[in-house]
């Protein structure tokens, strides 16, 4: 009886972690829209000629949104950096990480 109950609890917990659709494998949906991005002026000097600025963004910490500061990354020859963004679906909001795209 106890083993059966433990198995049901484990199955229920696993069901909460599984994606609801084929495209949301590692997505965490947030029901609350993120705040508008902060308007920040980059005051740091470019560390080197081949550096690309990654803008700051709002991150969901499980309870509320917190601001993540922007930073410099090394450029990739032949690519442009596409910043991350929040996307809205019928499940809620989820974060789409920044990525490199062929130029």
Q: Specify the pLDDT at position 4.
A: 60
**Half-sphere exposure in the Cβ direction for 33 (13 Å, CA):** 6
pLDDT in tens, 3-62: 565 544 544 444 444 444 445 568 999 999 999 999 988 878 899 999 999 999 999 999
pTM of the full structure:
0.70
Domain ranges of the chain: 28-102
Least confident interval from 13-22, 67-76, 90-99: 13-22
Q: Specify the pLDDT at position 82.
A: 98
Structure-model confidence comparison of residues 52 and 2, the more confident one: 52
Distance separating alpha carbons of residues 24 and 91, to the nearest angstrom? 10
Q: Specify the pLDDT at position 66.
A: 98
């Amino acid at each position: 009886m106890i083993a059966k109950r433990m198995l049901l609890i484990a199955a229920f917990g696993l069901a909460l972690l599984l994606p609801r659709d084929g495209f949301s494998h590692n997505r965490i949906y947030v029901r609350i829209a993120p705040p508008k991005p902060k308007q920040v002026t980059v005051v740091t000097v470019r560390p080197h000629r081949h550096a690309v600025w990654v803008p700051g963004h709002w991150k969901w910490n499980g309870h509320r949104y917190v601001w993540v500061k922007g930073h410099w990354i090394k450029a990739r020859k032949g690519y442009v950096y596409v910043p991350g963004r929040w996307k809205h679906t019928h499940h809620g909001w989820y974060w789409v990480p920044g990525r490199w795209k062929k130029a």
